[in-house]
Amino acid sequence: MSLNAESTAFRSALEVIRAVEPRVADAIGAELADQRESLKLIASENYASPATLLTMGNWFSDKYAEGTVGRRFYAGCQNVDTVEALAAEHAKELFGAAHAYVQPHSGIDANLVAFWAILADRVESPALKKAQVRQVNDLTEADWFALRRELGNQRMLGMSLDSGGHLTHGFRPNISGKMFDQRSYGTDPVTGLIDYDRVAEAAREFKPLILVAGYSAYPRKVNFRIMREIADSVGATFMVDMAHFAGLVAGKVFTGDFDPVPHAHIVTTTTHKSLRGPRGGMVLCGPELADQVDRGCPMVLGGPLPHVMAAKAVALAEARRPDFADYAQRIVDNAQALAEGLLSRGTKLVTGGTENHLVLLDVSGYGLTGRQAEQALLDSGIVTNRNAVPQDPNGAWYTSGIRIGTPALTTRGLGTAEMDQTAELIHTVLSQTTPGESKAKYVLDPALADKVSKQATELLAGFPLYPAVDLG
């Protein structure tokens, strides 16, 4: 029997790898097997297409390409220019952005690029005035000394970690919390929803240079029109981190007030998660910040990864196809069905439901910590991650919550009926797990864990992962 192109490509690649280090080849094969057999409910994970995966394994990996398209510090980058320009073109068309910078290696890198672009553009620094130019290479050491003193005293207002924000939005142990004089806005203690009046009050009192919106564990839409109005009222730059929900923006599920691109001064994202591309980051902005953003390398980034930029171009091209909009809508439909299935079984959900791709369970109702629940579910073939809930008594390590999401299962083709079955499996495990002598230990009958794991495998059997890939 002749093999299809995908099977031939991946088999051949593993044969070449095996000849050098067979243990790596074995680990790659094992990872595919594990992912095929597990209910992947981690909200920040997905499955990239074979085309995207294969694009990362090529000769672009051998290239240094500091600089930007047409302005490299290394010769011989004409082919890198081609793929970087294509990725940026697809991003601009997909999101309706004036400018796209596709070099960031991750979402955190994208946020660093955005922070420094804003600082360089907005800070009224005597050092910059003296130089009368925005080119950092023209600043003297004395200029830099003055600039460092001034930059270190700027303010950022972002969503708190326990309310669903990300650690790069000013969390103290993160570099963002050290770069800026930082304050957080939370959510309503009863509803768990953003209170825009309170955000506006905090902005008026704190007067931040940067107002950050976006989330990693907030199961609702954000009104970016209102957030921009708040930023404008205090003269702040409005930045949105859409790493989690970029696929919902690309698929036109989030439009109008809920599409950040028309409202934000600058938008950052990852290219994996709901966008279903390679692991990496991206920055979108208007022309007023474009020059500063394009200095991301060497400002805060190392050499660009041309092979990943090529894969971004492929994934963004895929996201521009009509079927991606259907995929994005099914992500939300599945998340809402999963939430309804859990609620009907008595599970407590933060905000009482979802409007996006993720659901946040408060597992304290089961008498468990997030750490206990996460591991019990993993024992049962259900992959999730623990997450803090608002005003979490167990802190950010043990937590009281479990975050789950539907992008990956939706990629496999599961629908709303399967989401209800998934809710039943989750409830079965959590209701049969009891806490142990510490916040990490728990008791779960191995027979029940094995039964649920088999049920999860049976549920997935009708929705094979990478069906075109046969490793033999």
How far apart CA 334 and CA 403 sit, in angstroms, is 15
Q: In what order do the strands lie in the sheet with 401-405?
A: 358-362, 401-405, 385-387
pLDDT reported for residue 333: 98
Backbone angles phi, psi at 456, to 5 degrees: -65, -40
CATH class of the domain at 59-319: alpha beta
How far apart CA 264 and CA 99 sit, in angstroms, is 13
How far apart CA 271 and CA 95 sit, in angstroms, is 13
Beta bridge partners of residue 405, listed in sequence order: 358
pLDDT reported for residue 152: 56
Counting residues of the chain whose pLDDT is more than 70, the rounded percentage is 93
* Token pair belonging to 100: 């796209």
Tens place of pLDDT per residue across the chain (472 aa): 567 999 999 999 999 999 999 999 999 999 999 999 999 999 999 999 999 999 999 999 999 999 999 999 899 999 999 999 999 999 999 999 999 999 999 999 999 999 999 988 866 555 555 544 445 556 667 766 666 666 655 899 999 988 888 878 877 778 777 778 889 999 999 999 999 999 999 999 999 999 999 999 999 999 999 999 999 999 999 999 999 999 999 999 999 999 999 999 999 999 999 999 999 999 999 999 999 999 999 888 888 999 999 999 999 999 999 999 999 999 999 999 999 999 999 999 999 999 999 999 999 999 999 999 999 999 999 999 999 999 999 998 999 999 999 999 999 999 999 999 999 999 999 999 999 999 999 999 999 999 999 999 999 999 999 999 999 8
pLDDT reported for residue 134: 45
How far apart CA 118 and CA 111 sit, in angstroms, is 11
pLDDT reported for residue 142: 73
pLDDT reported for residue 428: 98
pLDDT reported for residue 235: 93
pLDDT reported for residue 133: 45
How far apart CA 398 and CA 392 sit, in angstroms, is 10
* Token pair belonging to 85: 């320009």
How far apart CA 84 and CA 291 sit, in angstroms, is 16
Q: Find the helix or strand (DSSP H, E) in which 58 lies.
A: none
Shared fold status for 59-319 and 325-461? no
CATH architecture of 325-461: Alpha-Beta Complex (3.90)
Residues 6+ apart with CB under 8 A from 140: none
How far apart CA 417 and CA 365 sit, in angstroms, is 25
Residues 6+ apart with CB under 8 A from 461: none
Could you read off the pLDDT of 231-279 as tens digits, one per residue? 999 999 999 999 999 999 999 999 999 999 999 999 999 999 999 999 9
Q: What residues act catalytically?
A: 64, 66, 241, 270, 273, 279
Residue 333's Cβ-count burial label (10 Å; 0-12, 13-18, 19+) is: middle
Q: Helix/strand/coil (H, E, C) string of the chain? A: CCCCHHHHHHHHHHHHHHCCCHHHHHHHHHHHHHHHHCEECCCCCCCCCHHHHHHCCCHHHHCCCCEECCEECCCCCHHHHHHHHHHHHHHHHHHCCCEEECCCCCHHHHHHHHHHHHHHHHCCCHHHHHHCCCCHHHCCHHHHHHHHHHHCCCEEEEECHHHCCCHHHCCCCCHHHHHCEEEEECCCCCCCCCCHHHHHHHHHHHCCCEEEEECCCCCCCCCHHHHHHHHHHCCCEEEEECCCCHHHHHCCCCCHHHCCCCCCCEEEEECCHHHCCCCCEEEEECHHHHHHHCCHHHHCCCCCCHHHHHHHHHHHHHHCCHHHHHHHHHHHHHHHHHHHHHHHCCCCEHHHCCCCCEEEEEHHHHCCCHHHHHHHHHHCCEECEEECCCCCCCHHHHCCEEEEECHHHHHHCCCHHHHHHHHHHHHHHHHCCEECCCCCCEECCHHHHHHHHHHHHHHHHCCCCCCCCCCC
SS3 of residue 400 by DSSP: coil
14 CA to centre of own chain:
29
Domain ranges of the chain: 59-319, 325-461
